[in-house]
């Protein structure tokens, strides 16, 4: 909306508030199924639902849509609650489980049977699918469709009592087998599943289908706006049908476009395959688009919420460039991450005219974006490490870093001029770069005003610590990893170079880095101490490289 700046959902909610459609309140819900960990797409939905409630002085229910016992687990419940809290959303007292409504839902189903609006069908799942017809072909009625109310009540009760085998009978809505909307061709409402539920144990052997549980759960909770993704657009007529036939309070379903992120899969089914197939190291592998993976990678919840705000809410599916997510974390960490020196691909630099055994301390700013962060002291000695690619023996045009005869700045320390190199006799590899320094340039500026074009970061060899650094790249090679040739598998698109572990030389202060702590490694990127990191064996994850490829 150009006048209010509202997205289409906020426009609907504002209009409902104005007309008093729901008595002026706003109640939303975030309804994950506990069958996997939350991913960045779920964050979009959570931010929309919790955000909308907060903006309107309403509340958002945290509801587990736990109606399919075979795939659900308390591990997932716990991880979801943790992730939502981490994102900064608070459900207060409003934590619900659809499984708490099993009895009420059962009674609603009985009510539909009494009204002649539901029947027990003995067709198999395959037969039901076959009888359903297609978009161009009307469906056919089941031979069991005209059972009497009494017979249906009896059979449904016996389904509940466990008398029948899985797959032998279902309860179906009695709507219209010729409807152009396939969802209305007598959809299944209940099926027999002899599986233990993570909360209700063996109390039930029949379980409601999503389409029967969801709207009624919304109604029970007094939800006003039930926001879901576009795949459910065609289910809205069924959502409305159930509530109307049951004649109970009727929330409004609204659909929005799900997040699709380039080089990423956002489907729990596929994420489970990655975990179970050992393609990644668990749900919190820093390459995973899960909130636990992003957190371990070094993402902040602020950056994720900022990203969710920037992508907005639309009615039609689009793709979001993963560079935008990276831009959000870069912006956040630029403001808050302390700067440190870490050399990822070290080569020795020996300063010939610097006294052997001498140590002096130079001052370096902790964060130029935050004056209150102050300075730290870095030990400077005769032998340092610099990045191998900060030196070129035979510099190409436009290369302003160190090369024979050229002078560069060592960040916050001195100017040095290269005098030569030492090579390994057998391999020809440069093992040492030799230079001299100008003692008059302490702090990295010269009193005579002469300039250098290149600045290198460095660490003193005798003070440097070894750290394992994990460099991540996109998990998939293709922008749309699900765009597959005939017979292809999305796992064929995995990027074999998505994780590269190297040993870096880092400044001594990092010995104290605690798991989860974030830094900018000067000139190379933002990094976060991994969960596995200890003072004796430091491990850092590269959250994101410094260079921003986000094109505005």
Q: Which residues bind ligand ATP (CB under 6 A)?
A: 31-33, 41-42, 44-45, 65, 228-229, 258-259, 266-269
Whole-number Cα distances in Å, 404 to 36, 386, 401, 408, 500: 56, 15, 10, 11, 31
* β-strands 499-506, 342-343 pairing: antiparallel
Q: What is the DSSP letter of 355?
A: P
**Strands lying side by side in the sheet with 27-30:** 27-30, 59-64, 95-97
Smallest CA-to-CA distance from 236 within 215, 209, 222 is with 215
Q: What is the DSSP letter of 136?
A: S
Closer residue to ligand ATP, CB minimum distance, 179 or 229: 229
Q: How far is the CB of 112 from ligand ATP (least distance, A)?
A: 24
Closer residue to ligand ATP, CB minimum distance, 258 or 463: 258
Query: Is the CB of residue 72 less than 8 Å from the CB of residue 33?
Result: yes
Which is catalytic among the residues 21, 132, 140, 258? 258
Q: How far is the CB of 35 from ligand ATP (least distance, A)?
A: 7
* β-strands 188-192, 170-173 pairing: antiparallel
Q: What are phi and psi of 546, to 5 degrees?
A: -75, -35
Taking residue 277's Cβ as centre, other Cβ atoms within 10 Å add up to 10
Q: Residue of minimal CB distance from ligand ATP?
A: 41
33 given a catalytic annotation: yes
Smallest CA-to-CA distance from 293 within 519, 79, 514 is with 79
Alpha-carbon distance of 259 to 253, in angstroms, equals 18
Q: How far is the CB of 390 from ligand ATP (least distance, A)?
A: 41
Q: How far is CA 446 from the centre of its chain?
A: 47
Closer residue to ligand ATP, CB minimum distance, 32 or 338: 32
Q: How far is the CB of 211 from ligand ATP (least distance, A)?
A: 13
Closer residue to ligand ATP, CB minimum distance, 254 or 529: 254
Alpha-carbon distance of 271 to 282, in angstroms, equals 10
Closer residue to ligand ATP, CB minimum distance, 69 or 525: 69
CA angle 119, 122, 124 (to 5 degrees): 120
Question: Token match 């202060």: residue?
Answer: 509
Which residues on adjacent β-strands are paired with residue 91?
A: none
Taking residue 420's Cβ as centre, other Cβ atoms within 10 Å add up to 12
Whole-number Cα distances in Å, 30 to 79, 314, 447: 15, 18, 62
Which is catalytic among the residues 268, 287, 305, 330? 268
Closer residue to ligand ATP, CB minimum distance, 267 or 491: 267
Q: How far is the CB of 392 from ligand ATP (least distance, A)?
A: 45
Closer residue to ligand ATP, CB minimum distance, 172 or 268: 268
Q: How far is the CB of 332 from ligand ATP (least distance, A)?
A: 21
258 given a catalytic annotation: yes
268 given a catalytic annotation: yes
Q: What residues are annotated to the active site?
A: 33, 258, 268
């Amino acid at each position: 909306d150009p006048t209010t700046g509202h997205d289409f959902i906020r426009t609907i909610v504002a209009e409902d508030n104005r007309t008093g459609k729901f008595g002026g309140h706003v109640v939303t819900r975030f309804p994950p199924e506990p069958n996997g960990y939350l991913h960045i797409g779920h964050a979009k939905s959570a931010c929309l639902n919790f955000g909308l409630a907060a903006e309107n002085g309403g509340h958002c229910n945290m509801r587990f849509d736990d109606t399919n016992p075979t795939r659900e687990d308390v591990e997932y419940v716990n991880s979801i609650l943790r992730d939502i809290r981490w994102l900064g959303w608070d459900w207060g007292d409003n934590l619900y489980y659809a499984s708490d409504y099993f009895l009420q839902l059962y009674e609603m189903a009985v009510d539909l049977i009494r009204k002649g609006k539901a029947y027990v069908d003995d067709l198999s799942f395959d037969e039901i699918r076959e009888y359903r017809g297609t978009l161009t072909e009307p469906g056919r009625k089941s031979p069991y469709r005209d059972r009497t109310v009494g017979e249906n009540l009896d059979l449904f009760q016996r389904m509940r009592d466990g008398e029948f085998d899985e797959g032998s009978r279902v309860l179906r809505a009695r709507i219209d087998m010729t409807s152009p909307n396939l969802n209305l061709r007598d959809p299944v409402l209940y099926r027999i599943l002899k599986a233990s539920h993570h909360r209700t144990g063996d109390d039930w052997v029949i379980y409601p289908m999503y389409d029967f549980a969801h709207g009624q759960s919304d109604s029970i909770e007094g939800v006003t706006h039930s926001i879901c993704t576009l795949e459910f657009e065609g289910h809205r007529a069924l959502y409305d049908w159930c509530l109307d036939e049951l004649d109970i309070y009727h929330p409004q379903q609204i659909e929005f476009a799900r997040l699709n992120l380039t080089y990423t899969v956002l489907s729990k089914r596929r994420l489970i395959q990655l975990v179970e197939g050992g393609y990644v190291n668990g749900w919190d592998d820093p390459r995973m688009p899960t909130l636990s993976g992003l957190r371990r990678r070094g993402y902040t919840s602020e950056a994720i919420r900022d990203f969710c705000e920037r992508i907005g809410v639309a009615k039609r599916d689009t793709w979001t460039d993963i560079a935008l997510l990276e831009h959000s974390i870069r912006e956040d960490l630029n403001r808050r991450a302390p700067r440190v020196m870490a050399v990822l691909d070290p080569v020795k630099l020996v300063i010939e005219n610097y006294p052997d055994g001498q140590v002096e301390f130079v001052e370096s700013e902790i964060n130029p974006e935050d004056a209150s962060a102050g300075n730290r002291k870095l030990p400077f000695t005769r032998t340092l490490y610099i990045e191998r690619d900060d030196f070129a023996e035979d510099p190409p045009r436009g290369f302003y870093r160190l090369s024979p005869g050229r002078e560069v700045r060592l960040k916050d320390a001195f100017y040095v001029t290269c005098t030569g190199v030492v090579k390994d006799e057998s391999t020809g590899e440069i093992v040492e770069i030799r230079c001299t320094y100008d003692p008059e340039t302490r702090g990295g500026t010269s009193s005579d005003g002469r300039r250098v074009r290149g600045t290198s970061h460095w660490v003193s060899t005798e003070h440097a610590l070894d750290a394992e650094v994990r460099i991540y790249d996109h998990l998939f090679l293709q922008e749309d990893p699900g765009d597959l040739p005939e017979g292809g598998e999305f796992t064929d698109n995995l990027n074999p170079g998505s994780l590269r572990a190297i040993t870096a030389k880092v400044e001594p202060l990092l010995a104290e880095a605690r798991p989860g702590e974030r830094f900018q490694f000067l000139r190379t990127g933002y990094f976060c101490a991994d969960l596995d990191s200890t003072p004796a064996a430091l491990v850092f994850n590269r959250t994101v490289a410094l260079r921003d490829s986000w094109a505005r």
